[in-house]
């Protein structure tokens, strides 16, 4: 029996474009397993998937991960067809608190050093979102940002599914 403490099934997807740090990707993989979220990795990766640090972060979660690898950004864009994407960037135009997320959307995050490529940001200029934070501070760690945005998306979807009495 499901309770308010259990997540209901959903179709949100997390995408990491050219991630560079294995432990961050491992932590995000663990997040995805714990939330029933698909993880998509877009090459090039800054590590090999069998790296010890990646496996340590994801621990025994890795075999249950719904993982898809895309050879490059072009292959990823072909795979999403006309689905709706949201680009996480510190230059985002909307706050995640104002974000009109829908079940089935793709949440796309860039790599740790340079974020998302300009070509992707210019392709979807009205689909950029960011996490509010103190003025003048640098962005959050990639795995922290992924957790914040995913849980905000899940919260919004859950609220939208609740039926009024």
Alpha carbons 128 and 87: distance in angstroms, whole number: 5
Residue 80 contacts by C-beta under 8 Å, 6 or more apart in sequence?
106
110 is in an annotated binding site: yes
Specify whether the CB–CB gap between 21 and 112 falls below 8 A: yes
Tell whether 92 is in a known binding site.
no
Known binding residue 107? Answer is no
Instruction: Report whether the peptide linkage leading into residue 101 is cis, meaning its omega lies within 30 degrees of zero.
Output: no
User: Which residues are annotated as part of the binding site?
Assistant: 88, 110, 131
Residues making up the binding site for S-adenosyl-L-methionine: 88, 110, 131
């Amino acid at each position: 029996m499901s309770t308010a403490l259990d997540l209901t099934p959903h179709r949100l997807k997390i995408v990491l474009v050219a991630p560079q740090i294995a432990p961050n990707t491992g932590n995000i993989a663990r997040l995805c397993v714990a939330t029933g979220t698909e993880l998509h990795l877009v090459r090039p990766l800054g590590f090999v998937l069998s790296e010890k640090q990646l496996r340590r972060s994801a621990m025994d979660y890795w075999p249950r991960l719904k993982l898809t690898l895309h050879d490059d950004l072009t292959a990823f864009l072909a795979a999403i067809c006309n689905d709706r994407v949201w680009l996480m960037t510190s230059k985002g135009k909307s706050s995640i608190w104002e974000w009109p997320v829908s079940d089935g959307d793709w949440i796309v995050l860039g790599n740790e050093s340079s974020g998302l490529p300009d070509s992707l940001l210019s392709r979807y200029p009205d689909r950029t979102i960011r996490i509010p934070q103190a003025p003048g501070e640098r962005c959050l760690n990639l795995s922290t940002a992924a957790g914040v945005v995913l849980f905000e998306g899940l919260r919004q979807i859950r609220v939208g599914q609740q039926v009024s009495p």
